[in-house]
A and B are shown apart, each in its own frame.
Chain A
Amino acid sequence: MSQAARRRDPGLAFVGPFLLVYCLVLILPMLHGIWLSLHVIDIWGDGRFAGLANYSRLFADPVFGQSLVNTFIVTLMIVPLLTVIALGLALALNRATRGAAILRGIFFSSAVLSVTIVTLIWRFILAPDAGLLGEVWQSAGWEPLPFLSSPGLALWALAITTIWWSIGLPMLLFLAGLQQVPADLYEAAALDKASRWRTFTQITLPALRRTTILVVMLQTAAQLQLFGQSQLLTAGGPSGASRTVVLFMNEVAFGRWELGYAQAAAEMLFLIILGVTLTQYWLTGRAGEGDHGR
């Protein structure tokens, strides 16, 4: 194509509509959000510039501190368990039989439910007196565990519910990763009469390195934003034991209408998630270099 023809390409007309919506609905709010976080503001007022006051208030706020710690703990509960279970399921179900296909479907089925339905179901499973788990526990002669009302167990309630809800996607990612392991590696291992464990640690795990990084980072970013489960399952309670950062944001913004203060919390979380995302790029880049060296 000649240079003249290229210059006449109506490229901007094609990308324009998306860029317009993108700037107005995402980029503008992002910049506005930074502005917001530097102001003391309620919903209708123009607010006044406060510099970093919102941020220094955050650091001193025990409720924010508690919600941040809760968020980290629940992320630490969910991500390793989810990763290991998903990897195990993928290894077991990576075969072309009909039974495996049905089981894959079952493990993925909960992922299509909304958080409202998931928490509705689990609230009544975890309820100590009338819940399903309680009934099972009592028929076994044990005292049911007060998952939703005990400070020590509330985060576990969020973790169990979340793992049940989101096991499907990481399992699929591992399955896709397994499909890309070169078959000749396994054949070579079989010829060497390598044990099942040796094959797993020497071939499968190294080959899944990129997938594992992807799963861990995607899930970490997702769980750091955990909100619906915390709000709907335990309402952040008892006494804040299961309040996450995003629930804190929601309460401050739409309960007390302190938008600037809530936005400062949002920017803190944004920075943390950005750190996770950048770590993923860095790690995947290194994993890529490793692949080339093989």
Chain B
Amino acid sequence: MAADAVSARTRLPLAAWIGVLLGAAVMLTPLLWTLALSFKANSALVGNSGAALTPPWTLANYAAIFGNGQTLRWLINSTIVSIGTTIGVLILCSLAGYGFARLDFPGRRWLFLFVLVGLAIPGQAVILSQHQLFAWTNLHNSYPGLILPGLTTSFGVFFMTQYMRAIPRELDEAALLDGASHWRIFTRIILPLTVPAQSTLAVFTFLGSWNDYWWPLISVTRADMYTLTVGLAAAQMNYAQTSGLGYLMAQAIFASLPIFVVYLIFQKQIIQAMAGTAIK
């Protein structure tokens, strides 16, 4: 990139480097400290969390997670909800994106504007009535109940529409003249071309759904339907201060592991996607 070349030529002052490195230490220390705590016996930590820095370390806390089925159960719930939400969003948004971007039908502009209105509605404005409507329809404590609110992403429709608009018309007009149906054009021609956009939207949706806290907190009342975020919050409340500190931290590390693996593998794409889509 051009800007890269320019800034690479201007050297960073030493003070700025020190500032950045100090900042990086502030970012990393809490994570490393958590990691160290998770490998200590709970009894060794009572009143003295500084003990985390010296041996002996133990895997007992991680073993305890597998001995207690609940954390695994929450992990499975989070996985089902996040993958379900992601697949649902991809299907609904690509269909709608194709409709808005490449088809003409009465009321198209108005309906698109109607979808964009959703961008301005924050979660807190609807969450209480969602809770009431889901109670009436008996959807609480169920996977559909956890997944449905995540499917109404105006951003996803907007994003897919913009992406599909940019695909040249010539590609599908020939197929249309040959008598191909729109469904066929959508699945055979357009969908394969939107894989980069699909994966960006998938990463956004998966991260958002995995880390969602408020909706699962109020929608789920049964511990076996908790997602990880809610389950760990409940565990946090139960363990008074330091008595189960090592175990709690092991749970935190364990719960973050899948998302960190996703992050490390897709780091470059995630960072580009986040930066790129927000700017446009």
Q: Which residues of A contact B (CB under 8 A)?
A: 1, 5-6, 9-15, 17-19, 21-22, 25-30, 32-33, 36, 43, 85, 88-89, 91-97, 103-110, 112-117, 119-125, 127, 129-132, 135, 164, 167, 169, 172-173, 175-183, 186-187, 196, 211, 214, 218, 221, 225, 227-228, 232, 246, 249-250, 253-254, 259, 262-263, 266-267, 269-270, 273-274, 277
Contact = CB atoms under 8 A, between A and B. Distances in A.
B44 to A, nearest CB: 12
Nearest to A114: B211
B192 to A, nearest CB: 17
B279 interface: yes
Contacts of A169: 274, 278
Contact of B263 (A109, A120, A175, A196): A109
B26, B108, B152: residue with the most chain A Cβ atoms closer than 10 Å: B152
B240 interface: no
B233 A277 contact: no
8 contacts: A14-B96, A15-B99, A32-B133, A33-B125, A92-B17, A115-B229, A172-B274, A173-B278
Given A107-B24, A173-B279, A14 B95 contact: yes
B14 to A, nearest CB: 12
Contacts of B118: 22, 26-27
Contact of B24 (A11, A15, A106): A106
A135 B50 contact: yes
B138 interface: no
Contacts of A92: 12, 16-17, 19-20
Given A25-B130, A33-B125, A15 B100 contact: yes
A114 B207 CA distance: 9
A175 B275 contact: yes
A94 B2 CA distance: 11
A28 B229 contact: no
A264 B250 CA distance: 40
Given A120-B232, A266-B125, A113 B256 contact: yes
Contacts of A27: 118
A180 B99 contact: no
Contacts of A221: 122
Contact of B128 (A113, A117, A263): A263
Given A21-B92, A109-B27, 15 more contacts: A11-B99, A14-B96, A17-B96, A18-B95, A25-B148, A25-B151, A27-B118, A29-B133, A103-B20, A108-B267, A116-B213, A120-B248, A120-B249, A175-B275, A254-B218
A215 to B, nearest CB: 9
Nearest to B148: A25
A179 B1 contact: yes
Contacts of A117: 232, 252, 255-256
B159 to A, nearest CB: 13
Contacts of A262: 128
A9, A122, A218: residue with the most chain B Cβ atoms closer than 10 Å: A9
A36 B125 contact: no
A203 to B, nearest CB: 10
B20 A93 contact: yes
Nearest to A19: B111
Nearest to A182: B2
Contacts, number: 277
Interface of B: 1-8, 10, 12, 16-17, 19-20, 23-24, 26-31, 33-34, 37, 45, 47-50, 91-93, 95-96, 98-100, 103-105, 108, 111, 115, 118, 120-133, 135, 148-149, 151-152, 154, 157, 173, 176, 182, 186, 207, 210-214, 218, 228-230, 232-233, 236, 241-242, 245, 248-249, 252, 255-256, 259-260, 262-263, 267, 270-271, 274-276, 278-279
Looking at chain B's contact residues, the main secondary structure is helix
Contacts of A266: 124-125, 127-128
A176 B93 CA distance: 25
A91 B210 CA distance: 31
B104 A176 contact: no
B49 A130 contact: yes
Contacts of B128: 33, 36, 249, 253, 259, 262-263, 266
A94 B123 CA distance: 34
Contacts of A122: 30
A108 B271 CA distance: 8
Contacts of A21: 92, 148, 151-152
6 closest residue pairs by CB, A with B: A14-B99, A11-B105, A183-B2, A176-B275, A11-B103, A15-B99
B29 to A, nearest CB: 7
A232 B233 contact: yes
B3 A94 contact: yes
B122 to A, nearest CB: 5
B241 A127 contact: yes
Contact of A176 (B48, B50, B260, B276): B276
Given A10-B182, A89-B20, A106-B28, A15 B6 contact: no
Contacts of A225: 122-124
Contacts of B279: 173, 176-177, 180, 211, 214
Contacts of B274: 169, 172
Contacts of B182: 9-10, 14
